[in-house]
Amino acid sequence: MPEPESVPSAVPWWRDAAVYQVYPRSFADGDGDGVGDLAGIRARLPHLARLGVDAVWFNPWYPSPQKDGGYDITDYRAVDPVLGTLDEAEKLIAEAAGLGLHTIVDIVPNHVSDRHPWFRAALAAPPGSPERERFHFRDGRGEHGRLPPNNWRSEFGGLPWTRTADGQWYLHLFAAEQPDLNWDHPEVRAEHEAVLRFWFDRGAAGVRIDSAGLLVKDPDLPDLTPEGPHPYVDRDDLHPVYRSWRAVADSYHPPRALIGEVWVPDAERFARYLRPDELHTAFNFDFLARPWDATALRASIDSTLAAHEPVEAPATWVLANHDVTRTATRYGRADTRFDFAAKAFGTPTDLALGRRRARAAALLTLALPGSVYLYQGEELGLPEVEDLPPDRLRDPMHHRSGGTDPGRDGCRVPLPWSGDRPPYGFSTAPGAAEPWLPQPADWTALTVEAQTGDPDSMLELYRTALRLRRTAITGGLRWRPAPEGVLAFDRGIGFTCLVNLSPQPVPIDTPGELLLRSGPLTDGRLPSDTALWLGRA
């Protein structure tokens, strides 16, 4: 099935797309089992078209035991029966294309589920067997190999090694149910290229590549030390993998896009993934992690643009996703950075302040050059749900921390669509089961229905901003002189964005017609934590 051509344009869609991220289990439930599914998404596609985004990235929808929110996959060429069927996925991709929406599917190459046929075969086979070669099996250290093979730590906390019944250990950088693949094995490489083709053949316009910087390990799996190249993050020999994927993507018409989840702090190292024969774009986690502070955000914008320029790749701008604290909550805290290590239960939050800043941040982000990612529910201003009953928490980050890390369930609560009580239209089937994560009792004012038509709502702010982004904002970014704590820049010749992150109102001494503002002005001045878009005819 070919991916329908977009309106002919000199600029490929992925260079400046607004991409909406759908977490399928929490978007909309079509069959009433309390879990979001493809039928629910298909019924709600008009919401995305009306919102004004260009593409939709779907978190994994494959069969999975759900030990890590679907990132533990048993079959990369099928759809989890709880979510629907492959036939429905094909229809969904075609219907989205019919509404002008490109589809991006999530590819998870670093690891598979421990229930994947390859890993079951590896466990059933003896040490040293070809079946084990597709993974990282090693003997342990110490007496009788009782100690793990090296000193690494899991990204989710705890050991990244689990011992099997015959005494060998296997590597898993994430949960024990997510064994890491051996990317030095030709079958592993061939399999993933075949999976890319499988989804590109079904009309996917691109893939989001999970944990894209972690695939290739130093074959000796040496201890982690402060010196020398990291044994598994950002290895030089990872780049040929993406060159080969690029050739696959470029063999399609139109070419498909590769989008990497690359957590590499060094901007120059990060940009190496975006060379013209590698990935098209990668998520900008530096921007996401910065505090609500003009100097810090400007520094991130400048270093991002400077790093992308030599490789001629577009920047991406991301405020939130299914792994991090919701923007409205994060910006309402004393510490407005995002840091996995700093997450804690009971952090005080001023949600009114956080929402005001989230509105201003939306206008800042949507005005920047490049593509932008919008995580479902951000357009509604949803807060992090921090009082989920402990026995409902699913995230291995929570469980593997011994219960101290709140985990990522709080940003994955099912969306509120309509009505004044749970499930707020999330499930539309009569007699539907309770949503898989409980929704708060006070989300009535946050539903799509309640916000539609209210000019002061977050949803209408996003709708207007996304429409203007398409029509009124083009060209490179140029900073304007501005008071301390204020971000002021032009795009092209006819557009200015002002964001006041200082504690007091500032005068608006820029000419132009008011296009949009994130909050009311006071006496013609721009209040604290407010953003403004100006246009000139």
- Residue numbers at the binding site for ligand GLC (CB under 6 A): 68-69, 71, 108, 174, 210-211, 261, 322-323
| Paired sense of beta strands 495-500 and 486-491, if any | antiparallel
For ligand GLC, give the closer residue by CB, 252 or 340.
340
Q: Report how far residue 2's alpha carbon sits from residue 420's, in angstroms, rounded to the nearest whole number.
A: 42
Q: How far is the CB of 112 from ligand GLC (least distance, A)?
A: 10
Count the residues in the chain: 537
Helix boundaries (H) for 202-260? 239-250
Q: Shortest gap between Cβ of 210 and ligand GLC (angstroms)?
A: 5
Query: CB–CB of 161/169 below 8 Å?
Result: yes
Of 177, 210, 278, 378, which one is the catalytic site residue? 210
Nearer Cβ to ligand GLC (16/177)? 177
**CA pseudo-torsion sign 307, 309, 312, 318:** positive
Residue 276's identity, in one-letter code, is P
Establish how many alpha carbons lie within 13 A of residue 452's alpha carbon, considering only the half-sphere containing its beta carbon: 10
Active-site position among 68, 180, 261, 286 = 261
Eight-state DSSP code of residue 420: S
Which amino acid is present at 71? Y
- In three-state secondary structure terms, 40 is helix
Smallest separation, CB 327 to ligand GLC (Å)? 17
Provide the minimum distance between the beta carbon of 323 and ligand GLC in the complex, in angstroms, as a whole number: 5
Alpha carbons within 13 angstroms on the beta-carbon side of residue 174 total 26
Is 173 or 498 the residue whose CB approaches ligand GLC more closely? Answer: 173
Instruction: Write down the least CB distance from residue 23 to ligand GLC, Å.
Output: 9
Cβ closer to ligand GLC: 97 or 112?
112
Nearest CA to 215 out of 175, 182, 245 is that of 182
Q: What is the side-by-side strand order in the sheet with 513-517? A: 477-479, 486-491, 495-500, 530-535, 513-517
Q: Cβ closer to ligand GLC: 179 or 369?
A: 179
Angle at 205 between CA 380 and CA 304, to 5 degrees: 65
C-alpha span between 74 and 116 (Å, rounded): 4
Neighbours of 408 (CB within 10 A): 23
Q: Give the CB-nearest residue to ligand GLC.
A: 71
Smallest distance, ligand GLC to C-beta of residue 67, A: 10
Q: How far is the CB of 115 from ligand GLC (least distance, A)?
A: 15
Q: Convert 63-93 into a string of H (helix), E (strand) and C (coil).
A: CCCCCCCCCCCCCCCCCCCCCCCHHHHHHHH
Burial of residue 442 (CB within 10 Å: 0-12, 13-18, 19+) is exposed
| Residue 216: Cβ-neighbour burial (10 angstroms; 0-12, 13-18, 19+) | buried
Which lies closer to ligand GLC via its Cβ, residue 109 or residue 383? Answer: 109
Among residues 110 and 349, whose Cβ is nearest to ligand GLC? 110
Give whichever of 174 and 338 is closer to ligand GLC, judged by the CB atom: 174
Write out the two tokens for 425.
Answer: 């239209």
Q: How far is the CB of 393 from ligand GLC (least distance, A)?
A: 14
Annotated catalytic, 210? Answer: yes
335: annotated active-site residue: no
Which residues are tagged catalytic?
210, 261
